[in-house]
Every structure is written in C-alpha cells, then in structure tokens.
Chains A and B, each alone.
Chain A
C-alpha cells in the first residue's frame, strides 16, 4: 500500500508520545470508514434508484406539467399556475368521476370480501380434491380483464343480453345496465368481483390455516357451534389479513380502468358519464378531445392526494385496531 507508514508506530508508539504529530489518516482507512458507513446504503440503493426513476420522477414531473398549458401533441405551453386545478374542480364530470369511482369501489369490495371469507371457510374444511377446488377459485384471475369485460358487456347488453332475457322470463322488467347509474355500477362490480374474489379467497384461506387449531378445540370444549366458532375465533384472528386485503382492494378500486372502459363501444363511460371513473377521466382529458396533459395531470395529482388521505385514514384505523388488541391482551394478563 502506497500510503502505509504504520510499521514503526507499532513498537515506538508510547515513547514518541510528546512530539507526536497528529496522525495522518491513510486513504485506505478513509475508504474503510466509508465502507462501513456508505456500503449499506449502496446495497439497498437499487430499490431507491429505481423508485426515483419510476416513482418519484413521474410524480414530480406530473406536478410540473399540471401547472402548465400542455397539449398532447403541441407540447409545453405557458405557465398557468393553478388554473388547471381550478378548471377541473369546476367541471361536473370531475365530480361524477369521483362519485363513480367510490360507488363502484364500495359496491364491488363489500360483497367481494364477504364472499371471499365464506369461500375460504368452505375451502378450509376437509374437502375431497382440495387442491382442485382451491385452484378452481383462482381460475377467473387468469382471464385478462379486457376479455372479462367483453364477455360481461355482451351478458349485460340492455336489449339482447342474457341477463335481461333471464330477468324477463321470470317477469322482471329489463334493467338499463348501460343507462342507469347504479345498475351500470353493479354490472361493472360483478366483473371486478368475478376476477378478484378468488384471489382474496386464497389470501384469506392461507391466513385461516395459520390459526392455531387448539383455539377451535377449546371452543368445541366450551360448546361453541360451528357458526359461533366462525364469528368468535376465525374472524377475529383474520383481522390483520383483512386489513391487508382492504388496503390492496382500496388501491385497486381507486385505479379501476379496464372494466369500465370496455363496458360499451365508445369507452367514454356512458353518454352521461354514468360509469366514468377517475382514471378514465384522466385519460379523457389527456388523450380525448381536449388533449390537455395539463388538466389530466391536475386530476392525477388530486387523485394522488385523495389516495394519500385514504391511506392515512386506513393507517389510523389500523393503529387503533392494533392498540385495541394490545389493551385486551393486557387485561387478560392482569386478570
């Protein structure tokens, strides 16, 4: 090593103490210090570099675009401040898109979770050909969303569709799946549920199998019925997994695009925008007739803020549930 002057110091160190010059720190030693301090960050840097590239940069750039007049083809125009935000907030279609997004989210998520829990409980029982059934519920997940939408679009056709024909046969008036707001949301929710229920079932099933079996034995000894076991043992033990499933379906639900876009031939979300979601509205502003990237970016940022708000609400609820658990445990101990 070129900078090494250390060999005499080893034996003569204490004697030369009084006139000792401040020790020169070798470059290799500096490197060594850096190694300890910097290396860990380098090892995890790939994630952050990729995040900066694919997550942070688009986020910041979208904010930059949203304060400009920005045409899809013409490119960047003048700086307009918050004008784009003011414009979209005054648009009735913006509020419609938010209403539709949340409505479709609720109509799809609630039944989906209920069905998923029930299915998981059934699959958790001792069945013949268990793996077959378990893979069976996942099968719809393999189908591409666009294919699902095309098929369901035909089923839900207002006049020629299978569903209205069946309803007509049992004496119910045909439902305007493509004309009424609520009916269209129900139709789209069935597509979402068709695809995602099996996926959530498997996650919940995995969680159910992790529940210690002696809890059930104890419950049986106490004389609990099957239903009582389900509500008093299974559901409480699933809580952390349920929270995870709720969060993932919230994120997925707020970004829903494929199913509503393919629900009719124009892909605009209905003539009165009955089922236009927030992401479809972004697409319409940016790539539709207005070709305004500035306005589209403004909506994207508003949606981002909404998702953050919901994330924070989720977080606080999760924390409260966690602390609830802690207090009940403490009570048990003190008793």
Chain B
C-alpha cells in the first residue's frame, strides 16, 4: 500500500512536470530585447532591424551609446527587403519578437498602415520640417498619425557603360548622354529611341530588364493602381496599360532588353559579361552596381531621367507598439534619421538622405563617386530629387505590383505572349478583391 502511494506521487509529480514543461515552452517568448532591464531604466538594450545596407555603422552606434549611458544598440540585419517584411509580419501577427526599431520600405509600408495601433505614434513637433513633405506624407495615416521617420529616398538617374556606348559610336560622356536622351525634357520615347540605335548598331541589349524599366515608369504615375479611397483601378487604368505596352514593345519587339529578371542569378552575372549598356539607377542602386561589377570599368551616371523626376524606394524607421522601451526607441530613431547621421550613412553606403537640411549640405553636393568615373553623384542625385511627385501607394500596391512584375518576367524573360500575360495580370488583380 505504501509503495502504491509513493508511486502515485511519483506519477503525479511526473504529470505536473510535463505540464510545467509544456507551459514553460509557450510562456517566455515575449521579452526578447530587455535582458538588461532588471536594473530599472539604467541598462536598456535596443534592437534595430534593418535590411540591405542602410549605412548605419558601428561607430555611429558607439557614439550614441557614449552620449546615452545605459543604452546598448543591437543591429539585426536582413539580407533584403522581402525577408524583413516577412519577419516583421510574422512578429506583428504573433504579437511578440519584433525589434524595438523596425526599418520598413515604402513599397510595403501602406499595407502596414492599415494597422496603426501596431505602431507607436512618432509625431514630434520638434521634428517638423526635417524631411521632404512628400516623404512625411507617405508615412502619415489619414488621421494624422506619423508611423515612421524617413531614412533615405531613391531619386533616379540613368547609369550607363560609357565604354560600350563609345564602341557603338554613340554619345558616351555624361553630358552627351544626358543631351541625347533629351536633357531636361527627356521622355521614355527618347530613351527607347536611343536604345534602338545602340541595339541596331551592336546587336546587343540596351537595358537590363523589362521589370526594372517598368518600375521606373510606374513610379511616375500618381494613382497607378488605386484611388485614394482604396478602389483598385489597376486593370482599367489606361496609363498602366500604356506603360505595359511600351515596355513590352521595347523589350521584346525591339529586343532592347537583356531579358533578365531583376535580382536573379543571371542578372547578377550579366554585370560581368557586358550584358547591357544602361539601367535605371536610384541612389541606392549605385552601390549594387559597384558590388556586382567588380573589375568592370566604364560605368558612369548621367544627370537625366526620362519622363521627369522619379523616386524608387526609400525607407522609414518605425517603433512597433510591442516594444518594451518605446520612448528610448523613438529617441534613437529620431537620432538616426537626423541629417548628420544620414549624411554619414550616404558617405558609407550611398543611401540618399530624405532630410531637407542634408540635401542642401555641401558635404553631400560636393561628393563624387570614384567607381562611376568620378561622377559628381551627390549633385546629380540632388538634381534628380527636385520635383519628385510621390505616387499614391495604397494597401494593395505591393500585391498589384507583384502581379505586374510576374507578368512582365513571363513576357520578357520566358518569352510569354504579352496579351495573354496582361489577361492573367487582370485576373490576378481581380482575385485580390
């Protein structure tokens, strides 16, 4: 009898143990970032989640930590924007695990702006006028809540291979190319016409990818896919169809495209094999070109962009509401997006600042880029940033654009039929409904 009871106790203890173990597994995942928080507000670890190369250096973090004793900054890096988006979505869904400061790209900011209560309101009268107006507008909800502090913008210029153009007997210096593309009144027709000359003379592709070129064109359309009230107009918008037709004609019929999917292995490899002569270059793309073109000379930047000014990309720093230290995180985000820090970020990785004061600074305007034939990159991009009209991007922007890029890849890279792919784009858009 006594034996039995002790066995029972053992069994009961075992069951309780398992139950404890099971609950323990699910209980402690909501405090990822405050290891040091036991000592009150003295020791705080702030996590900063970024992607690509925002240009924030360890020296900058050390400087901030020295100014603010007790703060430790931990930078979590994702390889690219899509990875960061998926990770943030998952953490927002589970309500835990997001960093104290999350970097968000403009293309997928709108879909998160549907849930403003997931983020801390960063409105701060002291920072009024720090950024370009359209940059602030992108991160402001209809109710006037500011969700993110702007980091960089992507004013676009044309990057070209001077050596390849010269070999074809075409204009090949910075000024000549800008002139040949139409100078201040450059249009997409001019760009494609110039490309036809090149391709006819050499038989080689003029630009890298239909999808990339389309992206430059659609970023100049104010309401491409959605009205401000959220109505999806992508499939019926004549402007979208016209751009689609122009790009597919230039890419396939005129064969100007190198038929590469942007960011694919073939695209990366083509930088080494003189695969194409020009490409659209937002500020952040210059670093990418340089990285892929090791050993290749001849790249240059022309101070011109077809169809007027255009912006491609750019990001924001946000503070998720689940952060354990929202006030400290907000302060750090404000510091990182201050003009001084953004100028050093530009010098380190070429991310072009979105701050009014930074845009006018001598340090920025006087900067040159050695890889691009010593081009005055700062001045060119600052010129290209003038007159940018930020297109409206609503909650469905990312999804619609994704469907469009899919169709373009099928036509440009895989040789699909342009009309059939337009139809599948239309049906993909209607499936979003």
Contact = CB atoms under 8 A, between A and B. Distances in A.
Interface of A: 1, 28, 31-32, 34-35, 39, 42, 45-46, 49-50, 53, 72-75, 91, 153-154, 157-161, 176, 178-179, 264-268, 271-272, 287, 289-291
Nearest to B93: A72
Question: Would you call the interface of chain A mostly helix, strand, loop, or mixed?
Answer: loop
A157 B269 contact: yes
Contact of B266 (A34, A46, A160, A272): A160
A324 B15 CA distance: 45
A179 B431 contact: no
A35 B265 contact: no
A53 B264 CA distance: 41
B414 A179 contact: yes
A157 B89 contact: no
Given A32-B1, A160-B270, A39 B11 contact: yes
A35 B4 CA distance: 7
Contact of A53 (B22, B90, B261, B273): B22
A139 to B, nearest CB: 25
30 contacts: A28-B4, A31-B5, A31-B8, A32-B4, A34-B8, A42-B11, A42-B15, A45-B18, A73-B89, A73-B118, A75-B93, A91-B431, A154-B265, A157-B264, A157-B269, A159-B260, A160-B265, A161-B265, A264-B261, A265-B261, A265-B265, A266-B82, A266-B263, A267-B82, A271-B410, A272-B414, A287-B86, A289-B398, A289-B432, A291-B89
A117 B172 CA distance: 62
B36 interface: no
A291 B395 CA distance: 12
Interface string B177-208: 00000000000000000000000000000000
B293 interface: no
A153 B92 CA distance: 32
A35 B93 contact: no
Contacts of B266: 157-161
B341 interface: no
B92 A73 contact: yes
Given A265-B263, A271-B409, A31 B92 contact: no
B300 to A, nearest CB: 24
Contacts of B114: 74
Given A73-B89, A73-B115, A179-B414, A271 B265 contact: no
B365 interface: no
B169 interface: no
Contacts of A45: 15, 18
Contacts of B93: 72-73, 75
Interface of B: 1, 4-5, 7-8, 11, 14-15, 18-19, 22, 82, 86, 89-90, 92-93, 111-112, 114-115, 118, 260-261, 263-266, 269-270, 273, 398-399, 402, 406-407, 409-410, 413-416, 424, 431-432
B269 A289 contact: no
B431 to A, nearest CB: 7
Contact of A49 (B5, B22, B431, B432): B22
A178 B93 CA distance: 33
B409 to A, nearest CB: 4
A45 B270 CA distance: 60
Contacts of B413: 158, 178-179, 271
Tell me which of B19, B406, B424 has the highest count of chain A C-beta atoms within 10 A of its own C-beta.
B406
A30 B293 CA distance: 82
Nearest to B431: A91
A74 B15 CA distance: 37
B418 to A, nearest CB: 13
A258 to B, nearest CB: 15
B118 A290 contact: no
A153 B118 contact: no
A39 B22 contact: no
B402 A289 contact: yes
Contacts of A1: 1
A42 B14 contact: yes
A210 to B, nearest CB: 37
A72 B413 CA distance: 33
A154 B268 CA distance: 11
A153 B268 CA distance: 13
Given A49-B22, A154-B265, 5 more contacts: A72-B89, A73-B112, A159-B260, A179-B414, A271-B413
B416 A272 contact: yes
B28 to A, nearest CB: 16
Given A32-B4, A153-B265, A265-B263, A287 B414 contact: no
Contacts of A153: 265
B4 A290 contact: no
Contacts of A35: 4, 7-8
B193 to A, nearest CB: 27
A161 B264 CA distance: 12
A334 B198 CA distance: 87
B73 to A, nearest CB: 27
A286 to B, nearest CB: 9
A179 B415 contact: yes
Nearest to B427: A92
Contact of B269 (A160, A268, A287): A160
A46 B118 CA distance: 38
B7 to A, nearest CB: 6
Contacts of B265: 153-154, 157, 160-161, 265
B113 to A, nearest CB: 11
B269 A74 contact: no
Nearest to A29: B1
